[in-house]
């Protein structure tokens, strides 16, 4: 349990922890390369540690000193694990690892925690089966634990209709070891870190727009060269402090080294649409990714916004914190086309709607989103996180602005992506 009180403002400079999506990939892809890769500023959180221990259980030698990893690539010659692999709470670990395991001729079993065991896997299992992997699991292979015997894959063409980066990445990884060409179409471009990292590792891969949407194509049988990756700060983590600064009078924060890849910065575009003054400073490129220091300050008024289906992939993980901002906007804001939120670490639509209602907001729930009548005062409440890190952090920020005390029932779940969250909050609070 954590009690959150009102604070006056947030002020100062902060480097939030490194990007979770890039940190997962910076372990998985180098483990498949030929030679030694070096990763700096790696995020050490519960999710990324789950990936690290699975990769080690597959025989890959990794030396970790602080935030630096040295990874001895296996060139796809992984070892049959003797134990059940556990992705814990991490959807990215489970889905990307199902792609890796499908390239291997051995037997393996992957499981997860109670939350991950409820999340759908058929979206990767079906295409992997089509490629030739033998996969079985609960509910016809939709739910963990899932058993895989892979090898002898053939390339396929899939339409990734939910624009999921996890699905795209899984199939591209399997495609690296498949015979022929693998292509993934998606209606809107989802986060493209896998493509960027693979290219930096010497993989020939093309990506372009077609009348069926964006396609990424690669030919199987390519070798991955070792990588040198410096992980930037996570925009999904930076979003919490940006939102806090926007809501608290007199606030000013400078969020350092933040990834501003256009497939990831939809939240900051929406902040601008709400009328927030923010700037990207010191723009630069690090390891093939765009990075900036983001300066944000208090906004006197906030315009209501509409989030549409095509925008969802660029801000999917920021919707809980965006919902908090919507509660303070000058009118009704809406999110639609976001049914994916129902199958995240928790049912995030339900978690947002129920907790905002507890704080006194007027909210309507839809199957694929919600609408929020802004401009009301929030009052402190007991927040049910459902063990979901992004719900805990979003409602902690709401608690900084609400009247009275806000109680977060399970604050420890922030360690999934941001173990230092509450320390950083104390550092910036004034």
Q: Closest approach of Cβ 96 to ligand S3P, in Å?
A: 7
- Bridge pairing between strands 332-335 and 306-307: parallel
Q: Max Cα separation, the chain?
A: 61
Q: Judged by CB under 6 A, does residue 94 bind ligand S3P?
A: no
Q: Closest approach of Cβ 194 to ligand S3P, in Å?
A: 8
Q: Cβ closer to ligand S3P: 17 or 374? A: 17
Q: Judged by CB under 6 A, does residue 239 bind ligand S3P?
A: no
Contact positions with ligand S3P (CB under 6 A) in 324-363: 340
Segment interacting with ligand S3P (CB under 6 A) among 34-42, 99-107, 142-150, 161-169: 161-169
- Are 379 and 403 spatial neighbours (Cβ–Cβ below 8 Å)? yes
Cβ atoms within 10 A of the Cβ of 197, count?
23
Cβ atoms within 10 A of the Cβ of 281, count?
11
Q: Closest approach of Cβ 187 to ligand S3P, in Å?
A: 13
* Cα–Cα distance for residue pair 308/105, rounded to 1 Å: 42
Q: Which of 37, 86, 103, 164 binds ligand S3P (CB under 6 A)?
A: 164
Give the helix ranges, DSSP H, for 103-230: 114-117, 122-131, 138-141, 165-175, 193-200
Segment interacting with ligand S3P (CB under 6 A) among 3-11, 106-114, 164-172, 294-302: 164-172
Q: Cβ closer to ligand S3P: 317 or 388? A: 317
Segment interacting with ligand S3P (CB under 6 A) among 74-82, 132-140, 158-166, 331-339: 158-166
- Are 60 and 74 spatial neighbours (Cβ–Cβ below 8 Å)? yes
Count of residues touching ligand S3P (by CB under 6 A): 10
Q: Cβ closer to ligand S3P: 166 or 346? A: 166
Q: Closest approach of Cβ 272 to ligand S3P, in Å?
A: 22
Q: Closest approach of Cβ 430 to ligand S3P, in Å?
A: 31
Annotation says 317 is catalytic: yes
Q: Judged by CB under 6 A, does residue 92 bind ligand S3P?
A: yes
Helix, strand, coil share of the chain (percent; to 5): 35, 30, 35
- Bridge pairing between strands 107-111 and 85-86: parallel
Q: Which of 166, 261, 333, 355 binds ligand S3P (CB under 6 A)?
A: 166
Q: What angle do CA 387, 389, 391 make, to 5 degrees?
A: 85
Q: How many CA atoms lie within 13 A of 421 on its CB side?
A: 29
Catalytic choice (265, 317, 347, 410): 317
Query: Which helix (H) or strand (E) element contains residue 356?
Result: helix 348-358
Q: Which of 46, 119, 191, 348 binds ligand S3P (CB under 6 A)?
A: 191
316 secondary structure, DSSP code: G
* Cα–Cα distance for residue pair 71/33, rounded to 1 Å: 9
Q: Cβ closer to ligand S3P: 263 or 333? A: 263
Site track 4-33 with ligand S3P (rule: CB under 6 A), x = hit: -----------------x------------
Cβ atoms within 10 A of the Cβ of 84, count?
12
Query: Which helix (H) or strand (E) element contains residue 289?
Result: strand 289-297
Q: Closest approach of Cβ 259 to ligand S3P, in Å?
A: 12
Segment interacting with ligand S3P (CB under 6 A) among 78-86, 162-170, 253-261, 292-300: 162-170
- Are 27 and 52 spatial neighbours (Cβ–Cβ below 8 Å)? yes
Please tell me whether residue 23 adopts helix, strand or coil conformation: helix
Q: How many CA atoms lie within 13 A of 330 on its CB side?
A: 9
Q: Closest approach of Cβ 97 to ligand S3P, in Å?
A: 12
Report how far apart, in Å, the C-alpha atoms of 8 and of each of 182, 186, 267 are.
Answer: 54, 44, 24
Check whether the bond before 145 is cis (ω within 30° of 0).
Answer: yes
Contact positions with ligand S3P (CB under 6 A) in 280-319: 316-317
Give the helix ranges, DSSP H, for 66-192: 91-102, 114-117, 122-131, 138-141, 165-175
Q: Which of 165, 231, 294, 372 binds ligand S3P (CB under 6 A)?
A: 165
Segment interacting with ligand S3P (CB under 6 A) among 6-14, 160-168, 206-214, 402-410: 160-168
> Catalytic residue numbers?
317
- Applying CB under 6 A, the residues found at the interface with ligand S3P are 21, 92, 164-166, 169, 191, 316-317, 340
């Amino acid at each position: 349990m954590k009690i959150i009180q009102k604070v006056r403002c947030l002020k100062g400079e902060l480097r939030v922890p490194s990007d979770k999506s890039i940190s997962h990939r910076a372990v998985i892809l180098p483990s498949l390369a030929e030679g030694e890769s070096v990763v700096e500023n790696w995020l050490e959180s519960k999710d990324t540690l789950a990936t690290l221990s699975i990769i080690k259980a597959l025989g890959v030698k990794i030396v970790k000193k602080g935030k630096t990893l040295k990874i001895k690539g296996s060139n796809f010659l992984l070892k049959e694990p003797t134990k059940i692999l556990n992705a814990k709470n991490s959807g990215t670990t489970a889905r990307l690892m199902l792609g890796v395991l499908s390239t291997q001729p051995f037997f393996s079993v992957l499981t997860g925690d109670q939350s991950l065991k409820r999340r759908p896997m058929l979206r990767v299992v079906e295409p992997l089966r089509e490629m030739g992997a033998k996969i079985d699991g609960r509910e016809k292979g939709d739910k963990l634990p899932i058993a895989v015997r892979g090898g002898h894959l053939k390339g396929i063409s899939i339409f990734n209709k939910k624009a999921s980066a996890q699905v795209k990445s899984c199939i591209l990884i399997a495609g690296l070891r498949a015979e022929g060409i693998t292509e993934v179409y998606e209606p809107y471009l989802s986060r493209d870190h896998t493509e960027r990292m693979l290219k930096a590792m010497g993989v020939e891969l093309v990506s372009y727009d077609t009348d069926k949407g964006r396609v990424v194509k690669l030919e199987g049988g390519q070798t991955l060269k070792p990588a040198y990756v410096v992980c930037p700060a996570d925009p999904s983590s930076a979003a919490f402090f940006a939102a806090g600064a926007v809501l608290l009078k007199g606030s000013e924060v400078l969020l350092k080294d933040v990834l501003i890849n256009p497939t990831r910065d939809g939240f900051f575009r929406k902040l601008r649409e709400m009328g927030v003054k923010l700037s990207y400073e010191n723009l630069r490129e690090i390891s093939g990714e765009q990075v900036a220091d983001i300066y944000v300050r208090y906004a006197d008024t906030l315009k209501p916004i509409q989030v549409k289906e095509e925008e969802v992939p660029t801000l999917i993980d920021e919707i809980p914190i965006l919902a908090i901002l919507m509660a303070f906007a000058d009118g009704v804001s809406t999110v639609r086309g976001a049914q994916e939120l129902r199958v995240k670490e928790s049912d995030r639509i339900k978690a947002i709607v129920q907790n905002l209602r507890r704080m006194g907001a007027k909210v309507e729930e839809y199957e694929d989103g919600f609408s929020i009548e802004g401009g009301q005062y929030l009052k402190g409440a007991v927040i049910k996180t459902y063990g979901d890190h992004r719900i805990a952090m979003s409602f902690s920020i709401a608690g900084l602005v609400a009247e009275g005390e806000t109680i977060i029932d399970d604050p420890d779940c922030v360690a999934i992506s941001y173990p230092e969250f509450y320390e950083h909050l104390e550092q910036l609070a004034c």
